[in-house]
Amino acid sequence: MTRWLLEVSPGVFAGHVSARVREQLWELVRAYIGDGRALLIWSVRSEQRFEIASLGHEREPVDIEGCLVMRTPYRQIEGSQAIPGAVRPPKESWSIAARRRRYRNSAERALGQQ
């Protein structure tokens, strides 16, 4: 992909290619994606001036009256009834912010049980 696009960050490619090259690159991405995720955004002549295609994402682009929006599936909240279309829980994150959030939530639950 680096032959046609500039890798601006690890795994993030940007550039201007023809529609034919874009479609061929997308087919290559589709063939090699595995369990990964990919998002393709390109310019078009429309009100928003871009289109979106995605692979492997829980969110999906949906056209609502000519306006592209990202649809996020409902998730079941702990202790609530199942929601139709609920997806698997998110993968556990190991970032510093996620660890702080887990600690804060567990501390709040502990205080609530006392």
pLDDT tens, 52-105?
888 888 888 888 888 888 888 766 556 556 556 555 555 566 778 877 888 888
Contact between residue 70 and residue 53 where contact means Cβ atoms under 8 Å apart = no
pLDDT for residue 7: 87
Task: Annotate 48-71 with b (16+ C-beta within 10 A) or e (fewer).
Answer: eeeebbeeeeeeeeeeeeeeeeee
- Above 90 in pLDDT, residue 50? no
pLDDT tens, 2-42?
788 898 888 888 998 999 999 999 999 999 988 888 888 99
Domains located in the chain, CATH noted: 1-57 (3.30.70.240)
* pTM for the predicted model, two decimal places: 0.58
The residue ranking higher by pLDDT, 110 or 18, is 18
Contact between residue 39 and residue 52 where contact means Cβ atoms under 8 Å apart = yes
